[in-house]
């Protein structure tokens, strides 16, 4: 959660050119909803309340949080930034690649 | 000075033993406190206390300007103290923790040669080997070179008779291969790690890494995502965003 301010700044800067999609691994959708509101995480948010056992965290082999992925314009895995700080450089690389 | 807390604890242990077997054995037992018998038990909690003390000592050294790799680094004396515990009971839990911690202290202090000396003195079936592979991985990351890590782990994997140690060593070789972008080699090492010790935590970890290589490597189509966002109307899929890069943030409220 300490990375939220940085994510918000990135979202504000890039939301016209890139999609931000949050996937909660909470075991309570209400908790997730409350956090989205109180922290102002206004990007798209999916939550199923199944924690790490949810289909999406399982498919992405998510072991902890935050865990981050950058996908390219064609929906392929592009990078797995180790922290929010590392997102911007990889996102810029993905943006620099022409659609194909 | 480092050995003292343990000697004191050992004395207490031996005196307790005397009390149970009778005074007649007192002389023998007291003589043994000076030179503990091989296999004399040192409690795991005592080893953990030593490690806590060592960490504090090393932190003080670092904050007062002490340099990594220096000959007066406190990791050296703590390594010696922990190694004594290991020497007393090499195949006990406490001995294994002591040896692994002793090696980790040297690696964190960037005292590579000393660390290697200890690593190479370990029997390939010493239970400390369960943890040493991870320590050697840390060394490789710190030095940005993995030659020693891979060569040493390959040797241990080939010579150990303990499945979990073989698996732990191969697992780290697989991690190094993956880090260096050699995915076929990584997959081979990880499959070997998984096969060496089925059902162990190492096998589970290898399984996860193989999955990541096969499904989550750069350039592969991202696993499908679909659902209705909590804060928007209508269902989404990854395809619905085609043409724009996507940042996925897996997060938790706590």
Q: Evaluate whether residue A100 is within a structural domain.
A: no
Q: Are A40 and B212 in contact (CB under 8 A)?
A: no
pLDDT value of position B229: 96
CATH of the domain at A62: 3.40.30.10
User: How close, in Å, is residue B225 to chain A by CA atoms?
Assistant: 7
Q: Look up the domain containing B101 and give its range.
A: 43-121
- Domain tally for chain B? 3
CA separation for the pair A74, B141 (Å, rounded): 32
In this structure, the answer to whether residues B21 and B65 fall within a common structural domain is no
pLDDT digits (tens, 9 = 90+) for B200-227: 999 999 999 999 999 999 999 999 999 9
pLDDT digits (tens, 9 = 90+) for A30-41: 999 999 999 999
pLDDT value of position B40: 58
Sign of dihedral through CA atoms A37, A43, A47, A51? negative
- Domain tally for chain A? 1
In this structure, the answer to whether residues B142 and B116 fall within a common structural domain is no
User: How close, in Å, is residue B239 to chain A by CA atoms?
Assistant: 7
Which residue among B236, B246, B254 places its CB closest to the CB of A71?
A: B246
In this structure, the answer to whether residues B165 and B202 fall within a common structural domain is yes
Question: Which chain B residue has its CA at the smallest distance from A35's CA?
Answer: B253
Residues 6 or more apart from B8 whose CB is under 8 A from it? Answer: none
CA B244 to each of CA A69, A72, A78, B5: distance values in angstroms, whole numbers, following the listed order: 14, 7, 12, 62
pTM: 0.79
In this structure, the answer to whether residues B132 and B208 fall within a common structural domain is yes
Neighbours of B59 (CB within 10 A): 12
User: Residue written as tokens 């993905």?
Assistant: A94
Residue B15 has pLDDT above 80, yes or no: no
Which residue among A20, A35, A48 places its CB closest to the CB of B247?
A: A20
B160 burial level (CB within 10 Å; 0-12, 13-18, 19+): buried
What DSSP element (H or E) covers B50? helix B44-63
Residue ranges in chain A assigned as alpha helix (H): 4-14, 29-39, 55-59, 87-96
Residue B97 has which token pair? 């923790």
**Could you report the predicted ipTM of this complex, rounded to two decimals?**
0.98
User: How close, in Å, is residue B236 to chain A by CA atoms?
Assistant: 10
The number of angstroms, rounded, from the C-alpha of B81 to the middle of its chain's C-alpha atoms is 19
Measured between its terminal Cα atoms, the distance across chain A in Å is 35
Question: Which chain B residue has its CA at the smallest distance from A71's CA?
Answer: B246
pLDDT value of position B18: 33
pLDDT value of position B38: 53
């Amino acid at each position: 959660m300490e990375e939220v301010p940085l994510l918000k700044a990135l979202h504000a800067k890039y939301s016209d050119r890139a999609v931000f999609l949050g996937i909660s691994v909470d075991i309570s959708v209400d908790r997730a909803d409350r956090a989205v509101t109180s922290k102002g995480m206004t990007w798209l948010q999916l939550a199923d309340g199944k924690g790490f056992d949810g289909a999406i965290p399982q498919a992405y082999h998510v072991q902890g949080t935050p865990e981050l992925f950058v996908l390219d314009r064609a929906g392929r895995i592009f990078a797995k930034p180790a922290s929010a700080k590392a997102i911007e450089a990889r996102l810029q690389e993905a943006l620099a690649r022409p659609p194909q | 000075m480092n050995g003292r807390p343990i000697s004191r604890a050992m004395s207490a242990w031996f005196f307790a033993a005397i009390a149970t077997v009778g005074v007649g054995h007192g002389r023998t037992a007291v003589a043994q406190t000076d030179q503990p018998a091989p296999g004399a038990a040192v409690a795991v909690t005592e080893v953990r206390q030593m490690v806590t003390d060592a960490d504090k000592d090393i932190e003080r050294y670092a904050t007062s300007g002490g340099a990594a790799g220096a000959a007066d680094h406190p990791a050296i004396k703590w390594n010696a103290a922990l190694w004594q515990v290991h020497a007393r009971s090499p195949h006990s839990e406490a001995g294994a923790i002591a040896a692994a911690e002793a090696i980790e202290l040297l690696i964190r202090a960037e005292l590579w040669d000393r660390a290697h000396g200890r690593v190479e003195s370990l029997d390939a079936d010493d239970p400390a080997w369960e943890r040493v592979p991870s320590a050697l991985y840390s060394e490789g990351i710190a030095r940005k070179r993995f030659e020693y890590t891979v060569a040493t782990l390959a040797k241990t994997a080939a010579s150990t008779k303990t499945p979990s140690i073989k698996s732990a060593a191969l697992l780290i070789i697989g991690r190094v291969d993956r880090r260096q972008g050699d995915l076929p080699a990584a997959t081979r090492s990880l499959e070997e790690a998984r096969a060496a010790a089925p059902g162990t935590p190492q096998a589970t970890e290898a399984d996860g890494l193989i999955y990541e290589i096969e499904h989550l490597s750069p350039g592969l189509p991202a696993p499908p995502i679909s659902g209705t966002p909590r804060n928007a109307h209508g269902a989404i899929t990854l395809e619905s965003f085609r043409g724009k890069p996507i940042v996925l943030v897996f997060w938790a409220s706590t």
